[in-house]
A and B are shown apart, each in its own frame.
Chain A
Amino acid sequence: MHALVQGVILGVLTGGVYALMASGQTLIFGIMKVVNLAQGAMVIMGAYLAYQLFVSFGLDPFLAIPITTVVMFGLGVAVQLLFLRPLRRDDKSELSLLVTFAVALLLEGIMSVTWSTTYRSINTSYANSSWTVLGYQITAVRVWAFALSLLALGLLFLLLNRTRFGRAVRATVQNPESARLLGIESDRVAALGFGLGAATAAAAGSVYGLLYPFYSGSHYDLISRLLSIVVLGGLGSVGGAVVAGVIVATSSAVVAATVSPAWSEMTFFAVLILVLLVRPQGLFGTVGRGAI
């Protein structure tokens, strides 16, 4: 029982971070109908940037976020403009999958060359401090990570609901055709949206770097988790991604705590298969039986 509760606490706290990573991915899908397989690599890139700022300038990873998000926003926009926009319309969804896969490998290669392939971790002064509440151990850094993820999600929420850009994004997500008719420049929204997705990856990357040791190949692990989360939440639904992030991270942490860490990886795939069997459109998705 103790292990179970400990797992739930850990899972919920981790879930916040996953929710942040997945929200960027599902946002990109919502706007462009592109499954971004490079999202995991972008998170790791964000983690490396935070690591480098910490090592070189002693900058706290939390404080590095304003810098890394701006850099990654630029990178995201560049990827969209260079590699995704030129694709031909008729087989765009198929090609874009492969292109983002290639971008993931490109980023992996760049990271491997720059930082080699040994594990890195960001060792802040508070990395090892923890509290004990009612016999359960709660590490400070996870609480901070959770809080920061909530803050970032809150900002994202405000951006989507309170700004002109946000309205354009939501209109595009709901109906690209009529959004175009309303004079929304879908190309610009797509580029900015991809940038925004990359920026959330950067913010999540800082947090990820604080929580776990990572290396250039860590993105494979991440992307499979993110994909099960966005499918569970419903492709394109940011709210769904948040809820699904918490659910999946919690169940995985519980499995890790009660069964074995090796099998917790399986949880993601099991969740994915289960969703597809029971509710293919995800918790909050609205994809019916094929488009007619």
Chain B
Amino acid sequence: MSRAGVARGGGFFLLLLALPFFGLAHWVVNLLVFVLMFAIMASAWNLVGGFAGYPSLGHAAFFGIGAYSMALMFHGAALSSGYEPFVALPLIGLVGAVIGWPIAIISMRTRADVFAIVTITFLFMIQTLAFNVRSLTGGSQGLSLPVAPFPAASYERPFYLVLVAMLAVAMLLTFGAMRSKIGLSLVAVRADEDKARGIGVRVSGVKVLAFSVSVGLTAMVGGVWAYYETFIYPQFAVDPLITIAVVLMTFLGGRATLWGPVLGAVILEAGQQTLAYRLGGSQFYLIAYALVFLVIMLLLPRGILPTLEERIRLRRRARVANAPDTPGAARTADAGRVALAPGGRS
């Protein structure tokens, strides 16, 4: 990572860590908690939907699995410090990953179309189960969790800090993937999977790995959400809108980039809260969301960051080409390379 990259990452996380100590209003911290949840989930989705090019439509199911795992673990339990549920998060991530493993193996054997079909069907199946297996989930009555014994003045703070840590993990994993042969393999899979398989790339391995890590992280976010809400209902815990939001954020910011999903989450979650506030709980909200989605897909299919990088690259190219003594192809190439590398060597 370049010095600028370290500075950018370090600065971002320092700012995040400092924010709750500025005495922000509860609603602001609450908003930030949700922005963080979506930033983590979008980063997670990006691993499989962005890098590998397998658009999962079922991530909301894993969010729900995480939420219900947390609820079942602590339903009716008494908390002393209030940090016990956070300690259980790695376990919940593991549960998500273990459930995701066979699904990835079966559904990623064929094509992206079939993968999308399996994941969305899985989502609806989990949704049905959440409603119908009442002995476990309480059906539409929902499940309650103990309320965290945190002081009211800074109630959100522990949740917030845990989520910041999880975002750091998600981004480090993404960064690690990009800088290792995992990322290299994933790009190859996305570009031409048959060719990649034919040159000995561990195609199935990296796909399944990416999917498992991705859904594991998503399940962990579901766990934090359940604890934060203290009461979960199937229609919110397993909500197709979560999938669509996460996908949309990744697309808006830029697929297969480190910062794209985070940027998308910041823009859209803030926008979403405003929309929800303006339009109330009414169904106009759904229409607005779908329209925003469609407009982004049509006008900015590559996302903000890749589009900007392309602009910068072209401008640099033009400058190099216009310079009196052109220093040759190598330098032009470098400029292009740096701009286009998905965080690779810049």
Contact = CB atoms under 8 A, between A and B. Distances in A.
Whether both chains belong to one complex is answered with yes
Interface of A: 29, 33, 35, 37, 83, 86-88, 91, 93-95, 97-99, 101-103, 105-106, 108-110, 112-113, 117, 216, 220-221, 223-224, 227-228, 231, 235, 262, 265-266, 268-269, 272-273, 276-277, 280, 287, 290-292
Interface in B117-139: 117-118, 120-125, 127-129, 132-133
B267 interface: no
Contacts of A93: 112-113
B253 interface: no
Nearest to A34: B113
A87 B296 CA distance: 11
Contacts of B109: 276, 280
B283 A109 contact: yes
A41 to B, nearest CB: 10
A35 B123 CA distance: 17
Interface in B147-205: 193-194, 197
Given A227-B117, A228-B121, A290-B194, A105 B112 contact: no
Interface stretch (B12-20, B23-31, B79-87, B287-295): B287-295
Contacts of A273: 106, 118
Nearest to B291: A106
Contact of A117 (B55, B283, B284): B283
A103 B290 contact: yes
B138 to A, nearest CB: 14
Contacts of B344: none
Nearest to A86: B298
Closest 9 interchain pairs by CB?
A109-B286, A112-B283, A109-B287, A106-B290, A262-B132, A224-B124, A102-B293, A105-B290, A265-B128
16 contacts: A83-B294, A86-B298, A88-B301, A93-B112, A109-B285, A109-B287, A113-B282, A216-B283, A220-B127, A265-B125, A272-B121, A273-B106, A276-B109, A276-B110, A280-B114, A292-B194
B68 interface: no
A104 B110 CA distance: 25
A269 B215 CA distance: 19
B55 to A, nearest CB: 5
A181 B193 CA distance: 28
Contacts of A276: 106-107, 109-110, 114, 118
Given A223-B124, A224-B125, A231-B117, A106 B287 contact: yes
Contacts of B197: 290
Contacts of A290: 111, 193-194, 197
Q: Give the interface centre of B107, B123, B132, B283 by most chain A CB atoms within 10 Å.
A: B283
A1 B338 CA distance: 70
B110 A287 contact: yes
Contacts of B114: 231, 235, 276, 280
Nearest to A29: B113
A93 B118 CA distance: 16
A272 B118 contact: yes
Interface residues of B, number: 48
Given A109-B283, A224-B125, A269-B121, A94 B289 contact: no
A105 B123 CA distance: 15
B188 to A, nearest CB: 14
Contacts of B259: none
Given A94-B55, A280-B109, 10 more contacts: A97-B116, A99-B297, A101-B120, A117-B283, A221-B124, A269-B121, A273-B106, A276-B106, A276-B109, A276-B114
A19 to B, nearest CB: 18
B94 interface: no
B206 interface: no
Nearest to A224: B124
Contacts of B283: 109, 112-113, 117, 216
Given A35-B113, A224-B125, A231-B117, A102 B286 contact: no
A87 B297 CA distance: 8
A102 B290 CA distance: 5
A79 to B, nearest CB: 10
Nearest to A277: B106
B125 A266 contact: yes
Contacts of A223: 120, 124
Nearest to B122: A269
B90 interface: no
Given A98-B297, A272-B117, A291 B128 contact: no
A231 B289 CA distance: 29
A83 B112 contact: no
Contacts of B116: 35, 97
